[in-house]
């Protein structure tokens, strides 16, 4: 089998090959490492490649599988994680010069779960510095370009996590999501990006950006892949700190063999305002598919959304400052300009403002609880725009301008405040040749149900957007243009 065929296969297909011993973990890791070596100088997806440890882990996995000690669908599968995740004996920078030489002594909890499942870490992925930004801009390690068009952004802050999966430099990846940092770059890069219910996946050992809003995110080629990884992150075993059964046993499951009688909420306002017309049409077509499959389509009123970005920032900036204040006395000049500006703003936010913002979040959650009494899921576009040009600062809407980062996360950040599980799946290709995404949102702790719905819809959309499916299947060729 050719290398490009292997790196473009979904996780579950690779797992089947490994279990049947049609390919060995050593062979698979060598294929991915060769591709990283070939592409990464241009793509900048990896900050650190863990070549030595990955090869050693592959040899151990090969021996175990040959002995019949197959651990499951992650055994021998190569993955990578955003450089916020602590990794024992492997440099963890946060995408910043501030921690350029930090070597953690322990793995983040999520990384330890994947290791226990036999996953093989390829390395640490590039990002917006300390997750502060939706563009993925990084002056120190380089800005990650979009694998579909090297003149455009991959999005952020988990830019490397999305680009690595899209370009075949990792089978799947982990990122974080504070305002859309998994779902937005997934949409811009044409992959699947999932943010579970807030608090369900451990953030222990992950450099925080904003404790109140941070989520672990999963990137993959398919929803089925996401579900496999999520299952191990929920039920993983760590000798240091086992997962809380009180949390993960709350995950509800339901049979969704089709979309009949599923109640899908469509927001009346905000989520279809100031949007690229082709993305709007693609999401409308997705909604039509749901209706044709006998789902109930229900218009819903969302809470007033005009102040939501402000509320989010009033929480983010002081929490970010509270973490980074330890480094400011000696390392202030090592931070990028945008991050220093954000921390400066954080110093002017009063405790009163922070508490008012937290109270607004509680109000948003109560309002959404009422909305979810009427519907099972909510559907929106993932992003109002396609991947913007590298270096662009504003998006024009008639006579108004919007900062690029604000536009990228306009439809995602609200659900970080409410904590609902949300996923972005591809929904066709724009006339520019760039991917588009649709966002699906579910009830708190109904993560498995959301994934089943997304899986059903993903399969139905493949027939509707067949041209998009073809292009995603040939990403290995597209990435060579970088």
Active site residue 82: yes
**3-state DSSP percent of the chain in helix, strand and coil, to 5:** 45, 15, 40
Beta-ladder partners of 377: 264, 442
Per annotation, catalytic residue among 9, 82, 124, 137: 82
Work out whether strand 377-381 and strand 422-429 pair parallel, antiparallel, or are unpaired. unpaired
Is residue 88 exposed (0-12), middle (13-18) or buried (19+ Cβ within 10 Å)?
middle
Residue 19: in which H helix or E strand, if any? helix 11-19
Nearest by Cα to 247 from 419, 2, 434: 419
Distance between CA atoms of residues 102 and 379, nearest Å: 41
| Alpha helix segments (H runs only) across 215-297 | 223-235, 245-248, 277-292
244 is catalytic: no
Nearest alpha-carbon partner for 427 in 378, 466, 385, 384: 466
Q: Residue 458's closest CA among 427, 430, 433, 420?
A: 427
| Cα-based distances in Å from 131 to 47, 82, 233, 343 | 14, 10, 22, 13
Q: Give CA–CA dist 246/251, Å, rounded.
A: 10
DSSP 206: B
Marked catalytic residue, from 96, 115, 158, 181: 181
Pick the catalytic residue from 24, 157, 212, 220: 157
d(CA 245, CA 117): 18
Taking Cα atoms as reference points, which of 229, 273, 237 lies closest to residue 119? 229
- 137 flagged as catalytic: no
From CA 410, how far away is CA 419, in angstroms rounded? 16
Helices 11-19 and 223-235: crossing angle in degrees, nearest 10, is 70
Residues 6 or more apart whose Cβ sits within 8 Å of residue 120: 25, 29, 54, 57, 58, 61, 76, 77, 78, 79
DSSP, residue by residue, 47-93: EEE-HHHHHHHHHHHHHHHHTT----TTTT-EEEEETTB-BTTB---
Task: Identify whether the C-beta of residue 212 lies closer than 8 Å to the C-beta of residue 232.
Answer: no
* Helix axes 51-66 and 25-43, enclosed angle (nearest 10): 160
Reference 135, options 82, 206, 185; nearest CA is: 185
Q: What positions carry a catalytic annotation?
A: 82, 157, 181
């Amino acid at each position: 089998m050719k290398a490009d065929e292997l790196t473009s296969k979904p996780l579950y297909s690779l797992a089947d090959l490994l279990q049947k011993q049609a390919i060995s973990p050593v062979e698979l890791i060598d294929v991915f490492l060769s591709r990283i070596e070939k592409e990464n100088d241009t793509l900048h997806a990896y900050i650190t490649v863990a070549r030595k440890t990955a090869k050693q882990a592959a040899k151990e996995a090969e021996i175990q599988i040959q002995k019949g000690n197959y651990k499951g669908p992650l055994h021998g599968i190569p993955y990578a994680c955003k450089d916020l995740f602590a990794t024992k004996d492997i440099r963890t920078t946060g995408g910043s010069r501030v921690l350029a030489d930090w070597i953690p002594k322990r793995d983040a909890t999520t990384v330890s779960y994947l290791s226990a499942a036999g996953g093989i870490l390829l390395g640490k992925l590039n990002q917006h510095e300390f997750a502060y930004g939706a563009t993925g801009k990084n002056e120190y390690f380089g800005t990650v370009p979009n694998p579909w068009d090297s003149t455009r952004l991959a999005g952020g802050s988990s830019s490397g996590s999305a680009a690595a999966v899209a370009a075949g430099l990792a089978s799947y990846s982990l990122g974080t999501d504070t305002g859309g940092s998994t779902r937005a770059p997934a949409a811009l890069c044409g992959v699947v990006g999932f943010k579970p219910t807030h608090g369900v996946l451990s953030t222990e050992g992950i450099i925080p950006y904003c404790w109140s809003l941070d989520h672990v995110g999963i990137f993959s080629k398919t929803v089925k892949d996401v579900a496999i990884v999520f299952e191990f992150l929920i039920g993983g075993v760590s000798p240091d700190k086992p997962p809380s059964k009180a949390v993960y046993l709350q995950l509800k499951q339901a049979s969704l063999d089709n979309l009949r009688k599923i109640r899908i909420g469509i927001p009346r306002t905000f989520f279809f305002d100031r949007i690229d017309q082709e993305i709007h049409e693609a999401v409308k077509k997705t909604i039509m598919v749901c209706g044709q499959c006998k789902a109930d389509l229900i218009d819903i009123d969302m809470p007033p959304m005009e102040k939501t970005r402000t509320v989010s920032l009033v929480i983010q900036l002081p929490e970010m400052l509270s973490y980074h204040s330890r480094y400011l006395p000696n390392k202030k000049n090592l931070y990028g300009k945008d991050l220093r500006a954000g921390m400066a703003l954080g110093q002017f936010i009063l405790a009163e403002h922070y508490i008012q913002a937290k109270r607004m979040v509680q109000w948003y959650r109560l309002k959404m609880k009422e909305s979810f009494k009427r519907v099972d899921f909510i559907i929106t576009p993932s992003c109002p725009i396609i991947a913007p040009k590298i270096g662009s600062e504003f998006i024009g809407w008639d006579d108004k301008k919007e900062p690029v980062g604000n536009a990228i996360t306009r439809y995602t950040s609200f659900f970080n405040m409410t904590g609902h599980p949300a996923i972005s799946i591809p929904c066709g290709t724009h006339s520019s040749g760039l991917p588009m995404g649709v966002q699906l949102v579910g009830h708190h702790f109904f993560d498995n149900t959301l994934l089943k719905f997304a899986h059903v819809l993903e399969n139905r959309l493949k027939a509707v957007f067949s041209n998009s499916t073809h292009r995603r299947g040939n990403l290995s060729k597209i990435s060579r243009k970088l």
